[in-house]
Chain A
Amino acid sequence: MSRKLEIIVLAILLVFTVQFVYMSSTTDAEYGGADGEAENVINDITGGTYEPIAEPFWEPPSGEIESLLFGLQAAIGAGIIGYFLGYYRAKSRYEDDLGYKDKSKPDSDRQSQ
């Protein structure tokens, strides 16, 4: 299997990482969330008069809990992707390589040989 696309993607990730390491060590950028900055812009435009019309009714009590929940979100997603790509991979392997075809009737007595 050709790995051309993987190499290109890795190269892009690498450029991105190097850029980040360089920038974060040479500047004092805070790397805060862009939505926090948007809040500043809103304050700027309205002169700080805007009151949010609603508050989140639950907030993660600390940054640790927040990263836990973000990590959980990523883990759930990654698990599902891995499971089903593996499922499809094994399925197409059985069908292609072993000649096992479970056609339209899965309840037929056809067995893998």
Chain B
Amino acid sequence: MHIMEGFLPSPWWQAWFAVSIPVIMYGIYKMNRLVKEKREILPLLAVAGAFIFVLSSLKLPSVTGSCSHPTGTGVAAIIFGPAISAVLGIIVLLYQALFLAHGGLTTLGANVFSMGIVGPVVAYLVYKAGMKANINFYAVVFLATAFGDWATYVTTSVELALAYPAGGVLTFAGFMSSFGKFAVVFAVTQVPLAIMEGAVSALLFKYVVNVKSDILIEMKVIEASIVKKLRGISA
């Protein structure tokens, strides 16, 4: 769930735009360069974007008795890095803001920051750390995408708590009190959904490794030796 249209007062919505716009610009620059250098990357970029499209359209019920949706940005973050994921994320956020009244144009900056930037950054860092620790590749993908998803909603709670601190004045205590309330709504609901997102993302990666592992090796996502091992088991 994204922050709804109109629900971030000044100066917060401007502030989140100010943070997000440079990242988007950098992402567009990186994406253009990548596509120019490696044309064959384009279909994979489309798959990563489409995955965000599918996952963020699925509103799933959670144990808390309310619904929310996964983000799907972790896959893009692992393959292309956080900046390009932010660009893919903004496409989905615009679609939902314009056609579904889900999220909004004034809150776009904040929503891009949580779903397009923080989520992918967390997914990317978890992925890199996990691969270094030599854990099973699919388990690492699971952890990275699940934590990325979850971080998105924790960030949403932070954004709302900053804008609506308890007592009306932004103090640490007020922030923490509001953060607790928003986190109950967003972060707790999201736990089972993050697990689902991690599982489905790992599955998508399995198919990508099976049919197009050379591109992942070229992008330095995984090493050739790991691909060999994975395909030895699963091919």
Contacts and interface: CB of A to CB of B under 8 A. Distances in A.
A5 B138 contact: yes
Interface residues of B, number: 74
Nearest to B42: A84
Contacts of A6: 203
Contacts of A23: 61, 63, 65
B51 A77 contact: yes
B59 interface: yes
A38 B160 contact: yes
A8 B199 contact: yes
B207 interface: yes
Given A33-B66, A56-B101, A78 B10 contact: no
A77 B195 CA distance: 21
Contacts of B95: 73
B125 interface: no
A81 B104 CA distance: 27
Contacts of A74: 53-54, 57-58
A70 B57 contact: yes
B59 A54 contact: no
Interface residues of A, number: 59
Contacts of A19: 63, 192
Dominant secondary structure at the B interface: helix
A39 B50 contact: no
B127 to A, nearest CB: 17
B122 to A, nearest CB: 20
B9 interface: yes
A44 B181 contact: yes
Given A32-B66, A85-B211, A56 B234 contact: no
Contact of A60 (B97, B100, B160): B100
A77 B50 contact: yes
Given A19-B63, A87-B43, 7 more contacts: A23-B65, A24-B61, A29-B64, A34-B68, A42-B7, A76-B53, A78-B54
16 contacts: A5-B206, A9-B202, A30-B66, A34-B1, A35-B2, A44-B181, A45-B164, A45-B166, A56-B5, A56-B6, A56-B97, A74-B54, A77-B54, A80-B47, A80-B53, A89-B210
The 3 A-B pairs with the shortest beta carbon distances in the complex, nearest first, are: A29-B65, A52-B6, A77-B53
